[in-house]
C-alpha cells in the first residue's frame, strides 16, 4: 500500500468498486480497503467442501437506464445472466451473477488497487485548509493519507470510524444519517445428500403472505447454477433474525433447518451459519450519497442511499465518485 492517494474508499462492495472504477477512469489514484477476505460485501459467495453458495444477495433488478446498460455489458461479458422474471413472460427480469453473485464484483475489481483483510480503525483530518487531507489509520497501526475518502460500510460502522478519529460533522447531517436503519439476516448454508424440493428456477419465498414466518427465502444453489452438488441457502426473516441474534449458532441453524424441511427433500450432510447484522436497510435516504465534508471530501455511500437494492448501491457509487471528482 502506498503512502498517499487521491481517494481512499472504505469497503469493496458494489458501491465502493463502482466508485473506484469511475474515479480511476478520470485519472485519480484510488485505493479500496476492505476488512473482509474477498470483494463484493453482501454480494457474497462461499464454498463449503464441494458445494458453493450464494449466501448474501440472491439476485438484482435494473430500472435506471444507465444501470441497465451496465447490466447488458455484464451479460455480454458472461458475469451476469437473467435468472427468472416476476411473472412468466412479461414481468421484470431478475438477474444473477454467473456462475456466482461475486463474479460481478470480481470483474469490477480487476485492475483496481484493492487491499483486503484490512480494517480501518479511524480517520482524522490533518493539515491546514489549503492542504488538508485525511489520515487513515488501520487496525495494525499503519497509516496512509488521502485527499478524499468514501465510506461505504453500513452507516453505523462508518460513524464509529469518524468518532474514533475525532471527526465532527454538523449536528443536522449526523441526525439524518442516524435515522438510517438496517434489518439483520441469519443465513444457513446446507449441503444435502440429494435433490431439494425447490422447483425451477431454484428460489422461493415460502409463505410470502405471512410476515411472522421465520424464513423469507430458500434457494437451491444447484438448480440456480451456482453449485455442482446439492446445496441450499436459507435466509431467516428480519423479525426472526432480530429476535434471535443472541441464540447459539447451532440452535439457530437447527431451528431454521427444521422449519425449511418441507422444501429440503433430502438429509443435511453439513451446514454452516452466517449472520448479516446489516443485511438490508429498512430506512434509507432518498439521495445518492451524503458529503459530510467538502474540503477535503468525505462522503457516505452504499445501499442505505436510494434503497435496499444492488442497483441502488451502484447508483450511490456513481454519486459518491461525482462528489469526489468535482
Distance CA 278, CA 213 (A): 20
Cα distances (angstroms) measured from residue 301 to each of 5, 17, 33, 35, 292: 19, 12, 15, 17, 11
* CATH 3.50.50.60 domain position(s) in the chain: 4-37+116-180+284-325
Exposure b/e, 147-166, CB count within 10 A at least 16 = b: bbbbbbbbbebbbebbeebe
Residue-wise pLDDT tens for the chain (326 aa)? 557 999 999 999 999 999 999 999 999 999 999 999 999 999 999 999 999 999 999 999 999 999 999 999 999 999 999 999 877 656 789 999 999 999 999 999 999 999 999 999 999 999 876 789 999 999 999 999 999 999 999 999 999 999 999 999 999 999 999 999 999 999 999 999 999 999 999 999 998 888 889 999 999 999 999 999 999 999 999 999 999 999 999 999 999 999 999 999 999 999 999 999 999 999 999 999 999 998 899 999 999 999 889 999 999 999 999 999 86
Distance CA 28, CA 14 (A): 19
CATH topology of domain 182-282: Polyamine Oxidase; Chain A, domain 2 (3.90.660)
Closest by CA to 280, choosing from 253, 307, 256, is 307
Grid cell of 94 as nine digits:
431478475
* CATH 3.90.660.10 domain position(s) in the chain: 182-282
Rounded to 10 degrees, the C-alpha dihedral 297/9/284/75 comes to: 130
Query: Strand 143-151 and strand 4-10: pairing?
Result: parallel
Is 3.50.50.60 the CATH classification of the domain at 4-37+116-180+284-325?
yes
Burial of 246 (0-12, 13-18, 19+ CB in 10 A): exposed
Amino acid at each position: 500500500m502506498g503512502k498517499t492517494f487521491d481517494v481512499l474508499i472504505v469497503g469493496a462492495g458494489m458501491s465502493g468498486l463502482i466508485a473506484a472504477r469511475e474515479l480511476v477512469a478520470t485519472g485519480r489514484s484510488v485505493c479500496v480497503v476492505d476488512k473482509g477476505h474477498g470483494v463484493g460485501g453482501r454480494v457474497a459467495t462461499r464454498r463449503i467442501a464441494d458445494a458453493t453458495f450464494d449466501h448474501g444477495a440472491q439476485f438484482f433488478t435494473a430500472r435506471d437506464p444507465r444501470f441497465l446498460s451496465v447490466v447488458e455489458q455484464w451479460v455480454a461479458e458472461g458475469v451476469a445472466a437473467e435468472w427468472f422474471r416476476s411473472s412468466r413472460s412479461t414481468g421484470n427480469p431478475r438477474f444473477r451473477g454467473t456462475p456466482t453473485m461475486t463474479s460481478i464484483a470480481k470483474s469490477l475489481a480487476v485492475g483496481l488497487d484493492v487491499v483486503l483483510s484490512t480494517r480501518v480503525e479511524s480517520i482524522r483530518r490533518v493539515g491546514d485548509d489549503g492542504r488538508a487531507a485525511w489520515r487513515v489509520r488501520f487496525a495494525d497501526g499503519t497509516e496512509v493519507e488521502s485527499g478524499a475518502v468514501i465510506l461505504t460500510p453500513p452507516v453505523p460502522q462508518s460513524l464509529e470510524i469518524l468518532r474514533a478519529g475525532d471527526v465532527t460533522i454538523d449536528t443536522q447531517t449526523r441526525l439524518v444519517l442516524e435515522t438510517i436503519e438496517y434489518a439483520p439476516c441469519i443465513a444457513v448454508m446446507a449441503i444435502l445428500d440429494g435433490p431439494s424440493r425447490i422447483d425451477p428456477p431454484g428460489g422461493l419465498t415460502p409463505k410470502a403472505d405471512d410476515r411472522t414466518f421465520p424464513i423469507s427465502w430458500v434457494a437451491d444453489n444447484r438448480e440456480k447454477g451456482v453449485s455442482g452438488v446439492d446445496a441450499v441457502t436459507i435466509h431467516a426473516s428480519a423479525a426472526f433474525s432480530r429476535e434471535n441474534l443472541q441464540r447459539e449458532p447451532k440452535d439457530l441453524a437447527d431451528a431454521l433447518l427444521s422449519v425449511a424441511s418441507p422444501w429440503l427433500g433430502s438429509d443435511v450432510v453439513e451446514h454452516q451459519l452466517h449472520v448479516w447484522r446489516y443485511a438490508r436497510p429498512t430506512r434509507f435516504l432518498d439521495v445518492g450519497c451524503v458529503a459530510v465534508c467538502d474540503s477535503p471530501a468525505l462522503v457516505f455511500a452504499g445501499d442505505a442511499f436510494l434503497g435496499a437494492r444492488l442497483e441502488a448501491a451502484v447508483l450511490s457509487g456513481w454519486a459518491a465518485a461525482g462528489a469526489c471528482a468535482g
